[in-house]
Amino acid sequence: MTILDRLESIVAKAPDQVFCYFVKNGVETPITWKQLWDRAQVYALLYEHQKVRRNSVIVIMLHHSDHLYYSFVGAMMYGAVPSFMPYPTPKQDLGLFWEQHHILFTRIEVGGLLTYREIAGNIGDIGSAAMMLLEDINLAAPVVYERAPAQAADIALLQHSSGTTGVKKGVMLSHGAILAQADAYAPTIALDRSATIASWLPLYHDMGLIACFILPIVIGVPIVHLDPFEWVGAPLALLDKTQEHRATHIWLPNFAFNHLAMNRRGEKKWDLSSLRVVSNCSEPCKIESMDKFSRTFADCSLRPDAAQVCYAMAETVFAASQTSVGRPLKSYTLSRSRLAEQIVAPPESDADRQSVASCGETIPSMRVKVVDNEGSTLSDGLVGEICLTGPSLYSGYYHLPEITAQKFRDGWHHTGDMGFVHDGEIYVTGRKDDLLIVRGRNYYAHDIEASMSATDGVHPGRVVSFAMHNEMIGTAEVICLAELRPGAEEPIVRRELRANVERDVGVVVGKIVFVPSGSLIKTTSGKISRKDNAARYAANLGVRH
């Protein structure tokens, strides 16, 4: 059984029902299941005409467009492996962007790239891969395409992690793993054929891809899909659409709960009674943000327990655990500064308080354990690395056997997330590696630090970056600490450093602090310690806002 077998049976049963209400520029266009299937066949034929190698990776890099769906499903029909990737932001340097992607495209031996003419000019040579431009696609021609045979164990798609240089990892997900996820996760959140999903999430993000595109097409749930860029400027449009379509499910990163609540103005009300679950996922979940959201929209018939937490990652297809729908959320209040050192302790002062939300129990098919640095399993309540196993596990990282061997050991995925298990529920406290999660997207501290070091006026190597939660905006922000060279003018360096990090890494820096020469804490091996400097920053500055 494959994703396409499931989708085909949905298409056969309800060809003219709506698969997606596609929203762009405020205009909604319904797309039926049959249209999805038919147009995907056009893409499958296109890949054949373009002689894309079978089983190779097809990278799809488009803005919000209905072609995202067709080109992705079409790649599976053709027998290639589709992967969405983010489009460069306006401030990113296109030359650098493609240079970095060249490394990646070469390593994964990309078979085809679908994008726009406007950026393709900068791309240079992509080897033997087929370059396909959206402007050339004509969906009108009716096509019947005999799809390539596939098995449950075959790789259905790649979900690429973040990271700027060669470190982008393609998580290989098989048809079997994805269907196992759908079968185990969907019942825990009452996601069935009577549901409707409202989403503004980009499809290159695992939450957008799996929860709001792949699960819907294997279960038969219609989606209402808004443009992520438009959503940022007009977030409440999501509630307009929820009301209009009686949507039952929404997935949001934590900051979006704040953004929605803070954007409410005036007397306008929505009927949100249809919402079964508003799932908080993909960055550290804060009870405060969810409370703020629930209180702000309490007069809109929003169920008080609609906001729920999900712990998810691409390596487990999506959800590993989920809080119980219909039950109040649980959390612990701990010491912020001690947590920065991965120690669970009571807070030392009001400013030191940090709540950690429960991510619930594992979904029925998955199992969890917490291990120490030596790999020994820790008992309840002790902080260590969270490891997961079950039938919806990934098949490894594409063309990266060493990293796969590090992360995937003895049938367990070592998540890199630090946390503990209490009463069977998972609590995530931080990261083992230098991954920073900002507004639901992942960045690496070493990439940010390399960009900081290359800034004129900064003492090279005397820099550190880490993430710290900001209550007001409901997400972590990137904190950069740097030592200045003698004679450097602080305002100029500050501006350049910020611009460099945005250009090189694509993230906006939350706070830049210049510290006295020689004051950054080093480890015994002489390296600048992220953990210790973060703990000192938290202790000294307390909580911003």
CB of 281 to another protein, least distance (A): 17
- Part of the chain binding another protein (CB under 8 A), chosen from 96-104, 121-129, 470-478, 532-540: 470-478
Query: What distance in Å separates the CA atoms of residue 328 and residue 345, rounded to the nearest whole number?
Result: 24
Amino acid at 520: L
Restricted to residues 511-530, the positions that interact with another protein (CB under 8 A) are: 511-512
Nearer residue to another protein within complex by CB, 154 or 227: 227
- Binding to another protein by residue 102, rule CB under 8 A? no
Would you count residue 244 as binding another protein (CB under 8 A)?
Answer: yes
Stretch that binds another protein, among 26-34, 75-83, 414-422, 459-467 (CB under 8 A): 26-34
- Taking CA 229 as the corner, what is the angle to CA 121 and CA 88, rounded to the nearest 5 degrees? 30
Structure tokens at 430: 């931080």
Q: Is 456 exposed, middle or buried (0-12, 13-18, 19+ CB in 10 A)?
A: exposed
Q: What is the SS3 assignment for 11-74?
A: HHHCCCCEEEEEEECCEEEEEEHHHHHHHHHHHHHHHHHCCCCCCCEEEECCCCCCHHHHHHHH
Residues in the chain: 545
Q: How far apart are CA 46 and CA 67, in angstroms?
A: 13
Contacts with another protein, 186-225, as mask; x by CB under 8 A: ----------------------------------------
148: contact with another protein by CB under 8 A: no
Q: Is 308 exposed, middle or buried (0-12, 13-18, 19+ CB in 10 A)?
A: buried
In angstroms, rounded to a whole number, what is the distance separating the alpha carbons of residues 190 and 76? 28
Q: Is 142 in the site for another protein (CB under 8 A)?
A: yes
Query: What is the smallest separation between the CB atom of 371 and another protein, expressed in angstroms?
Result: 36
- Residues 276-295, interacting with another protein (CB under 8 A): none
CB 544 within 8 A of CB 477: no
499 neighbors 509 (Cβ within 8 angstroms)? no
Give the position of tokens 């450097």. 488
CB closer to another protein, 188 vs 470: 470
Question: Is residue 135 part of the contact set for another protein (CB under 8 A)?
Answer: no
Nearer to another protein, 160 or 241 (CB): 241
Nearer CB in complex with another protein: 59/438: 438
Kindly write out the interface string for residues 420-449 of this chain, putting x where it contacts another protein by CB under 8 A and - elsewhere.
-------------------x----------
Q: Smallest gap, in angstroms, from Cβ of residue 68 to another protein? A: 16
540 forms part of the interface with another protein (CB under 8 A): no
Q: Can you tell me which residue has the tokens 């401030």?
A: 91
Q: Is 262 in the site for another protein (CB under 8 A)?
A: yes
Cβ 294 to another protein shortest distance, Å: 20
Q: How far is the CB of 275 from another protein (least distance, A)?
A: 17
| Contact window for another protein (CB under 8 A) among 232-240, 344-352, 387-395, 452-460 | 232-240
State which of residues 135, 138, 402, 525 lies at the interface with another protein (CB under 8 A).
138
> Alpha helices, DSSP H only, in 234-303?
237-245, 254-263, 287-296
136 forms part of the interface with another protein (CB under 8 A): no
Instruction: Check binding of 385 to another protein (CB under 8 A).
Output: no
Q: Which amino acid is at 166?
A: G
Q: Which of residues 2-21 bind another protein (CB under 8 A)?
A: 16
Tokens of 263: 């954007």
Cα 499 to Cα 478: distance, rounded to the nearest angstrom: 14
Residue 490 as a binder of another protein (CB under 8 A): the answer is: no
The residue count for binding another protein (CB under 8 A) is 44
451 dihedral zone (left: phi>0; alpha: psi -120 to 50; beta): alpha
Alpha-carbon distance values, 277 to 222, 289, 425 (Å): 15, 15, 19
Give the three-state DSSP class for 468. Answer: strand
Per CB under 8 A, the list member of 371, 473, 528, 539 interacting with another protein is 473
Does 469 bind another protein (CB under 8 A)? Our answer is: no
Does 144 participate in binding another protein (rule CB under 8 A)? no
Q: Which residues bind another protein (CB under 8 A)?
A: 16, 24-27, 29-30, 138, 140-142, 229, 232-237, 240-241, 244, 255, 259, 262-263, 265-266, 268, 439, 470, 473, 477, 491, 494-495, 498-499, 508-512, 544-545
